[in-house]
Structure 1
Amino acid sequence: MKRKISIGLVFVLVFLLFWYLFLKPSDYTVTFKANTFPGAINQTLKKWGKNFSGKIIGQKDLLHIDQRLQFGDSLVDYQWIITPVTDSTSRIKVRITDKNNSLKNRILIPFTNSVIEQRSKKNLLDYRDILNNHIKKFKVSVEGEATLPASFCAYLPAKGAQAEKAFGMMRDFPYLSSFIEENNLKPIGTPFVEITEWNTVSDSISFNFCYPIQKTDSLPIHHEIKFKEYPSKKAIKAIYNGNYITSDRAWYRILTYAEKNGIPVNSNPIEIFRDNPSLGGNELEWQAEIYMPLKNSDE
């Protein structure tokens, strides 16, 4: 009987050793808490990774991102697993594997303070500082279900990287406003952006930069500027305060809210900008209303 128990224990130990050396999903794992929602983490870790010639090698969804970074001659995979805990906190688990030295790392880690441990701790402390600095620069508050008001607008279609949306707006605003003035069109309200396509893997968008105007029976014809009527829609509304370059953080915040509350939405937000960034001032006082339309929400 004792011999059978001893053989069983040896078998278990051999299996555990084999799993640790060859099957374990990472060489080293780090877990920490972040005081923000998953979308802000998603965007900052992608930007941070570029400091190490990083590229995204897989993104299952907003919460699961596989990133490959380069440190000298070593290629290191960071597998990010983001778990929302509350509306304003998340847990981040990072599984780290050195593609060139995986077996060596697994042998050394239990006995020494290995290079991968030292480098990973340093890098993730650096990332956490960047994330904490970033989330101090904006605020998002979800107000819940609301009605997006109807409007009629002149607009310019555009597309590009998500992070370049605000620069596209600044580029097109003089062109659009001059067209409205030259054709004696009456502006009503402030400009807004309608996102028509959003690729959350490549972080690219197509959008319409819109200027609300009074609808008339006779509209000028232009080879680039078009006109569109927007019906009133039910939506989830959020208030964003901060630089409009990162107003997309509110999109992610609304998606997290909608998923948590079981509300089906169309992930094509509309942003109404209430302040003119060219006037300067405290960015945290700049305000935008962000609407994420409910599915089948035309009234």
Structure 2
Amino acid sequence: MKIFKYILFLILIFVIGGSIYIATQEGHYKIDYEETINAPQQMVYNEVLDLKNWEYWLPWSFTKIEFKNIKNDTIDINKPYLQWESSVIGDGNLTTHEALAYSSIVQQLKVENFLGESNGKMYWNFEAIAPQKTKVTWGIKGKKSFKDKLAELITGESTIEQLKPKLKEGLDNIEEVVLRKMNKYNITTEGVVQYGGGYYLYSSTSSKLSQISNKMRPIVQAIDAFMNKNEIEKIGNPLVVYNEYNTSNNSVIFSAGYFTSTQITTPINSNILSGKIPTQKALKTILKGNYKNLEKAWQKSYQYIEENRLEIDSTRHRFQVYLSDPDKVVNPAKWNTHLYIPIK
């Protein structure tokens, strides 16, 4: 009987001592991971802000995930809310509380599993380090419950050791998802149309076909500044006219500029000139997507001409009109470009 009492006493001492040991362990945690994602700041920020996207890149598996809006109790606004069920990490939810456009997001996190309830704060920071590069910091911080500390003791892994690889995996997944969205494109040949033509101001240069979109930007900007300075009205969007095309080395001489309402006389020594695209029949093709797909769009246009036995008017130049401003439309998949090949 005395032995039994001694055993109980030792067990009690062990439990009390263990509880004191666990309770005195570090009570707070903060873990974050930083990674550079090859995508514009606005696109990465929007990917994270829209909780409907999370199921495609979260590094944990779920049996059920649901998005909805909840009404804040004190402020009359809707707050994005994500709820999930998981046999791996436990059931939980996440609410977005603060969002500073393109810069930062703060969220409240709650997870319930067999060890009890755990609460934390999730935070995101986005910093543009180049037009197509964003430094992203994803972090979680909070206070450990007694059960959290016990779990660390049992598993032999700290909260930081458990979370850090997952944060990296999540950021890798975000980059993959965003790049997949950016690389989408569609080419549609609309057939022969009547193009109205018009006068335009332009400058010319030579380039590889793949570099046209990059080389035309400073030209267009210079012409835009010239037109603003001289109070000349711009009509429509920037255009590129292919003056010469060398298929052997895939190089072109092209002109880039803006349409004008009337013919404009420019200074004699100016490299900005006035030209005219006549009213004509032309095969029209629409590229929706990154300019790197322009060559594919031209190839599809010429394939359409061959298949439909159309005759190209070789006395006139093919041209393309840019309907999207990349400075305003950050997702290349949404850029619109119209291509025209003169037809007899």
Matched, 1:142 2:184: no
Cα distance in 2 for residues equivalent to 1:172 and 1:136:
26
Match status 1:288 vs 2:337: yes
Q: List structure 1 segments (4+ residues) > 6 angstroms apart after TM superposition.
A: none
**Inter-CA distance 283–221: structure 2 relative to 1 (3 Å threshold):** same
Normalising by structure 1, we get a TM-score of 0.51
The match for 1:48 is: none
Contact 2:263 2:274 in 1 (8 A): no
Alignment of 1:92-241 (within 5 A): 137-215=184-262, 219-241=266-288
3-state DSSP class of the match of 2:299? helix
Q: Is the 8 A contact 1:156 1:209 kept in 2?
A: yes
1:222 deviates by 4.4
5+ residue gaps, structure 2: 1-179
Deviations 1:198-230 (A, max 9, x none): 122211011110211121575444421100121
Do structure 1's residue 278 and structure 2's residue 327 form an aligned pair?
Answer: yes
Alpha-carbon offset, residue 271 of structure 1: 0.4
Residue identity opposite 1:186 in structure 2:
E
Aligned to 2:293: 246
Q: Which has the larger radius of gyration?
A: 2
Secondary structure of the structure 2 residue equivalent to 1:277 = coil
- Could you tell me how far apart the structure 1 residues matched to 2:263 and 2:242 are? 25
In structure 1, what is the Cα distance between the partners aligned to 2:257 and 2:221?
12
Pairwise CA distance, 1:281:
2.6
CA distance in 2, matches of 1:237, 1:230: 15
Q: Per the alignment, in what secondary structure is the counterpart of residue 276 of structure 1?
A: coil
1:236–1:293 CA contact under 8 A, matched in 2? yes
- Superposition TM-score, scaled by structure 2 size: 0.44
Alignment deviations for residues 271-294 of structure 1 (CA, whole Å, 9 cap, x no partner) = 011110122332221111111111
The percentage of counterpart residues that share the same residue type is 25
Structure 1 residue 248: Cα displacement: 2.7
Q: How big is the shift at 1:160? A: 1.3
Equivalences, count: 163
Q: Which residue of 1 aligns with 2:54?
A: none
Q: Structure 1's 182 and 288: CA in aligned 2 closer, same or farther, altered over 3 A?
A: same
Q: Which residue pairs with 2:139 in the alignment?
A: none
Equivalence for 1:26: none
* Inter-CA distance 228–217: structure 2 relative to 1 (3 Å threshold): closer
Query: What is the alpha-carbon distance in structure 2 between the residues aligned to residue 200 and residue 137 of structure 1?
Result: 27
Could you say if the C-alpha distance between residues 141 and 217 of structure 1 is closer, same or farther in structure 2, counting changes exceeding 3 Å?
closer
Structure 1 gaps of 5+ residues are: 1-132
Within 5 A, what are the aligned runs for 1:8-47? none
Distance 2:293 2:278 in 1: 27
* 1:271 partner letter: Q
For residue 175 of structure 1, report the CA deviation from its aligned partner. Answer: 0.9
Q: Distance in 2 between matches of 1:136 and 1:226?
A: 36
Aligned to 1:81: none
What SS does the corresponding residue of 2:237 show, helix, strand or coil?
A: coil
| Structure 1 residue 184, shift from structure 2 partner | 1.4
In 2, the alpha carbon distance for the partners of 1:250 and 1:209 equals 19
* Selected match of 1:269 from 308, 318, 321: 318
CA–CA separation in structure 1 for the residues paired with 2:231 and 2:276? 19
